[in-house]
Every structure is written in C-alpha cells, then in structure tokens.
Amino acid sequence: MTPSWKRSLIVKPLLKHYTSLESEKELDEWLLAQLEMAGKKARIDFEAPDKIVVIEMVQNECGVGLITKEMKERFTFIKIK
C-alpha cells in the first residue's frame, strides 16, 4: 500500500503578502517530486494520512516537523487539522 501524507501550513498573521493556498500547492508538488526522485511513492490524503508534515511560519522564521499516525494516537494532545 502506498503511504499517505498531508501537509499542514500554519502562518501567523504577522506575514504580509503571503498567498497560503498557492504556496501549499507548490509545497505538495515539490514533496511529491522529491519522493518520486528518491524512488518512493506517496499520495496526499487529507482525511487519514499516515504522516503529517507540519510547517509553522512566524514573520521570517520557520519550523518544520513530522507527525506520524502512531504519534497522534499515542499523544492525544497533538491536534493538527
């Protein structure tokens, strides 16, 4: 079975001139291309992903994390939309 993932982009309102939807689409395409180049298959699944790439931006700072399905089940305080 092909693993599934989704991306969650969190942008704090301090950023100006930022188009979230366009950037999210570009990020999805880039991640899929990188996985394909590495010989891995994946699909985007917003309902029940195996992994979630979380990106949080505040002004000109950025943090990136990876949340697995197992982590979400074990640590119930993790709330990703």
pLDDT in tens, the chain (81 residues): 666 656 665 555 544 555 567 777 788 888 888 888 999 888 888 788 888 888 777 777 778 888 888 998 899 888 776
Domains of the chain by residue range: 4-74
Cα(32)–Cα(43) distance, integer angstroms: 8
Q: Which fold has domain 4-74?
A: THUMP fold (3.30.2300)
pTM of the model: 0.64
C-beta separation of 39 from 65 below 8 A: no
